[in-house]
Amino acid sequence: SSELTQDPAVSVALGQTVRITCQGDGLSKYFGSWYQQKPGQAPVLVIYGRNNRPSGIPDRFSGSGSNPGNTASLTITGVQAEDEAEYYCNSRDSTGDHVVFGGGTKLTVL
Amino acid sequence: EVQLVESGGGLVQPGGSLRLSCIASGFNFNTYDMHWVRQVPGKGLEWVSGVTSAGDTFYSNSVKGRFTVSRDNGRNSFHLQMNSLRDEDTAVYFCARETVTMSGWFDPWGQGTLVTVSS
C-alpha cells in the first residue's frame, strides 16, 4: 500500500501531552516528516527524520518512529492553544519514486 | 531568507490548460529537488509531482500524462504545465523544496496558488 493512515481528530487539554500517529508501508523504509497547517496557511515542517526540529520549532514538538516498522508518531508535550491545527505526516512511498501524505489529524485544544 | 513564491493560478474550463510557476530565492536552487503538492479546499494534502536537481521528473498517478514539471535553474524557477484539466484538479497548489534528496522532507512551502476548473 502507498497510503499513510492517521486518526482524523484528536483533542487534548491545555498543558497536557498528545501523541499523533501515522502508519504506512513507506515508513518501514523511510523516516517521515510532520507538518502543521493552520487555516488559510501553508503547511509548516515541524519534525523530520528520526526526531529533528527545524529552526524556530519549539522543543515541545518531538517525533519517534519504529524502525524497522511502519509507524511514526508526533508528540506535543505541554500543548499550547496555538498548537491547535491540522497535522499531516508524509514519507516517500515504498518504491521511493513518489511521496505520500497521511489524511491529516485535526488537533483540538480544550 | 529562503522563500518560494507561486504564481499562475486562476479559473480555467474543463479540458483547458494552465501553467504554474514557482520562483525560489535565498538558497542554491539548482542543488535541490522540488515538488508540487495540492490541496482541495477543506481536504488533505496530495503530492502531485517532483523534479530532481538533475531534472528527473515524477508524477502521481492522478496527473501522469496530463501534467509536466520542469525547472529553469538559470532563473531559479520551476513550473507545472497542466493540460486536459478536470474538475477534480481544482485545488490550491503549493510548491515546496525537498530538504534532503529522497527524504520526502519539505521545507519551505510557498503560499499556494488557487486553480479552479469549472465551466
How many CB contacts within 8 angstroms connect chain A with chain B?
A: 67
Handedness of CA B32, B33, B34, B39 (dihedral sign): negative
Tell me whether residues A48 and B109 touch, CB distance under 8 A.
no
User: Which residues of chain A make contact with B69, given a CB cutoff of 8 A?
Assistant: none
Distance between B36 CA and the closest CA of chain A, angstroms: 10
pLDDT category of residue A68 using cuts at 50, 70 and 90:
low
Who contacts B26 (Cβ-Cβ below 8 Å, separation ≥6)? B1, B2, B3
Beta strands in B13-119 (DSSP E): 18-25, 33-39, 45-51, 57-59, 67-72, 77-82, 91-98, 106-109, 113-117
Mutate to test the interface with A, among B38, B40, B45 (most CBs of A within 10 A): B45
CB B20 within 8 A of CB B68: no
Q: CA-to-CA distance for B41 and A31, rounded, in angstroms? A: 28
Distance between B68 CA and the closest CA of chain A, angstroms: 15
Instruction: Give the residue, A1 or A52, on which the prediction is more confident.
Output: A52
pLDDT at residue A66 greater than cutoff 70: no
Q: CA-to-CA distance for A71 and A49, rounded, in angstroms? A: 13
Do the strands A85-92 and A33-37 form a parallel or antiparallel pair, or are they unpaired?
A: antiparallel
Q: CA-to-CA distance for B33 and B104, rounded, in angstroms? A: 10
Tell me whether residues A45 and B108 touch, CB distance under 8 A.
yes
> How far out from the chain centre does Cα A8 lie?
12
How would you label A60-87 residue by residue, b for 16+ Cβ within 10 Å and e otherwise? ebbbebeeeebbbbbbbeebeeebbbbb
pLDDT in tens, B6-38: 999 999 999 999 999 999 999 999 999 999 999
pLDDT at residue A1 greater than cutoff 50: no
Q: What's the confidence (pLDDT) of residue A67?
A: 57
pLDDT in tens, B49-107: 999 999 999 999 999 999 999 999 999 999 999 999 999 999 999 999 999 998 899 99
Closest alpha carbon within chain A to B94: A42
pLDDT averaged over every residue in chain A: 93
pLDDT at residue B40 greater than cutoff 90: yes
User: Which residues of chain B make contact with A97, given a CB cutoff of 8 A?
Assistant: 58
pLDDT at residue B113 greater than cutoff 70: yes
Mutate to test the interface with B, among A6, A52, A99, A105 (most CBs of B within 10 A): A99
Q: What's the confidence (pLDDT) of residue B86?
A: 98
pLDDT in tens, A41-53: 999 999 999 899 9
What one-letter code names the amino acid at A94?
A: S
Do the strands A85-92 and A105-109 form a parallel or antiparallel pair, or are they unpaired?
A: antiparallel
Stated as kind and residue range, the H or E segment containing A3 is none
What one-letter code names the amino acid at A37?
A: Q
The closest of A107, A109, A34 to A74, measured between CA atoms, is A34
Q: What's the confidence (pLDDT) of residue A28?
A: 83
Do the strands A33-37 and A44-48 form a parallel or antiparallel pair, or are they unpaired?
A: antiparallel
Q: Please tell me whether residue A69 adopts helix, strand or coil conformation.
A: coil
pLDDT in tens, A13-35: 999 999 999 999 888 888 899 99
Do the strands B33-39 and B45-51 form a parallel or antiparallel pair, or are they unpaired?
A: antiparallel
Q: What's the confidence (pLDDT) of residue A27?
A: 87
